[in-house]
Chain A
Amino acid sequence: MLPIILLSVFGIALLFLGFAKSKAILLPATLLFIAIAFGASFVDWGKNYMYFNDMLLSTNLSIAFTAIVLLSAFMVVSLSSSFLEDESAQPAEYYAIMLFSLVGAIMMISFENLIMLFVGVEILSVAMYVLTGSDKRNLRSNEAALKYFLMGSFATGIMLFGLALLYGTSGSFVLSDLRSYVNGGVAYGSPLLLYMGLLLLLVGILFKVSAAPFHFWTPDVYEGAPTLFTAFMSTVVKTAGFAALLRLLSFSFTGIYSFWGVILMAVTVITLVVSNFTAVYQSSFKRMMAYSSISHAGYLLIALTAVGQQSKQALVFYSLAYSVATIAAFGVLLVVSRHQSGEGKPTDESYDAFNGLARQNPLLGFIMTVAMLSLAGIPLTAGFWGKFMVFTTAANRGIFWLLVVAVLMSAVSIYYYFRVIIAMYLRDGQTTAIRVAPFYRYVLIAATILTIVLGILPNLVRSLV
């Protein structure tokens, strides 16, 4: 649990570092902080410890998710060099908020008590509301922030009501108590309250991970938010949300699988179908990525639907593969759109922005291509194994019809992922050579290499979990 403490302290420290004359120190400091927290998260490796009066539980699984979240954050932060050029931005605050939100994410990942789940969700969400609206003069950013905020609080309310009902029926917020309550048959209280409570709680978290039909905020918010924070949201929040769902469902509520299994299946199917179909029509790359993020929530949900020992590893692997590829894609989008505004063109986040990109910028083209291939699940990229493992969980459970839907939808997804590749390689555009800062480039290259290496040697991650 060291990372929680460290990140909180580092966050406060960053706030005060912001008063320093030179802003240049902020980025390396933040990266250093995250790296330290990353290292510190492995202190508890191999042990199952309870922390903070049994409020949090550290297991290898939680550490793996923590590591993914921290890695994603590290990569996103390292893509943030443009902050320092923009005068109206307040980098110290942004970085501090990101660190605080990571605390929330880690709480969601390793909660043992539902109070911690709630506090974690809120820390993460409130931080995201702020970051979404951080482009204060931009009406789209404003609108996105308000939408996210209102709908997010609404979802929080629903989740809280569920928590209250669970408490009312079981008399405890502790996961192991809930587990024995669920498994011991319904000793006292009412099963209706239990079911309603679980349902509402699920809806609250499903909202956060943007599963349909609770996904409506996602495209608008992702589109309106500054691209960097979109990358942050679509990776960190999603990973943490799924870790929380996994912990809840695979530990406490396995006893009533018959209740939530079918709900989750329905949600999965709706998520997959709606997101993949809608993504086809998008003309904005950023908005497509929002739908892509929803669709990946769908694939991740498959592993939850078929919950079992294998789901854990599948979820870890998939989250990692998805996060790395998504950040690489957003990283390229950031460079390209900044380059355009640098040239005095209006910022364009549609597919057209990538037209002819690969001619003058083979490296960026290659990075984007690998990211898209991974998201589409083409072999020898990490995304393929992610999908493969997730699908295997479903096959193991014998949920074949779900598998068929998922496989069909992944075929649809090829269409919109390949549009980017086609635009980059086959269309004509006036994109000139883009100068990319060395560190930025290294991060993108590292993400690409990670994607390919995991595609060739997927067992690397497994040996970690």
Chain B
Amino acid sequence: MNAAYVPSDYLPVFIQLILALGFIVTTMIVTHMVGPKRNSQKKDDPFECGIPVVGDARTPISIKYFLIAILFVLFDVEVIFMYPWAVNFKQLGVTGFLEMILFMGLLLSGFYYVIRKGVLKWE
């Protein structure tokens, strides 16, 4: 049973690696080749409705984006606790259900707090 892997066993992994890389490389090369190319100085300039360029291209992004991204990370990750719970749902029984309700309740109270703080107001 405990026979060691022989190198050929890694073949599927290797093939998938090549396929994945190959796809990216191919698409990049193909897009460059397929489209027509006409370069000119005007065209390479940053362009904004005929008005000459002012200031930095990297305009400050509203802090809202960061906040939402950060909140997403936080709430998103909590899902991982639901997988094992779901798998063992039957064995855990009512207690498990109540515990998950408590867990979700805590999460939701956090969510409510975020809303009350006005983080999600999109103005």
Contact = CB atoms under 8 A, between A and B. Distances in A.
The reply, when asked whether chain A contacts chain B directly with Cβ atoms under 8 A, is: yes
A12 B109 CA distance: 8
Interface residues of A, number: 4
A222 to B, nearest CB: 27
Interface size band for B: under 10
Contacts of A12: 106, 109, 113
Contacts of A15: 113
A16 B113 CA distance: 7
Interface string A13-30: 001100100000000000
A15 B112 CA distance: 11
Nearest to B113: A15
Query: Which residue, B109, B113, B116, has most C-beta atoms of chain A within 10 A?
Result: B113
A170 to B, nearest CB: 23
Contacts of A19: 116
B100 to A, nearest CB: 16
Interface string B31-72: 000000000000000000000000000000000000000000
Contacts of A16: 113, 116
Say whether chain A's binding surface is mostly helix, strand, loop, or mixed.
helix
Contacts of B116: 16, 19
A358 B97 CA distance: 62
A100 to B, nearest CB: 12
A349 B109 CA distance: 40
A457 to B, nearest CB: 44
Nearest to B112: A16
Interface string B93-123: 0000000000000100100010010000000
Nearest to B109: A12
Contacts of B113: 12, 15-16
Contacts of B109: 12
Interface string A255-292: 00000000000000000000000000000000000000
B63 to A, nearest CB: 12
Nearest to B116: A19
A119 B57 CA distance: 42
B40 to A, nearest CB: 45
B26 to A, nearest CB: 38
Contacts of B106: 12
A333 B109 CA distance: 38
Interface in A1-52: 12, 15-16, 19
A261 B113 CA distance: 48
Nearest to A96: B113
A16 B112 CA distance: 9
A360 to B, nearest CB: 44
Nearest to A12: B109
A15 to B, nearest CB: 5
A174 B116 CA distance: 41
A16 B109 CA distance: 9
A182 to B, nearest CB: 29
A12 B116 CA distance: 13
A19 B109 CA distance: 14
A265 to B, nearest CB: 41
A389 to B, nearest CB: 42
A19 B112 CA distance: 12
A208 to B, nearest CB: 23
Nearest to A19: B116
A177 B113 CA distance: 41
A142 to B, nearest CB: 15
A209 B109 CA distance: 33
A15 B111 CA distance: 12
7 contacts: A12-B106, A12-B109, A12-B113, A15-B113, A16-B113, A16-B116, A19-B116
Closest CB pairs A-B (n = 3): A15-B113, A12-B109, A19-B116
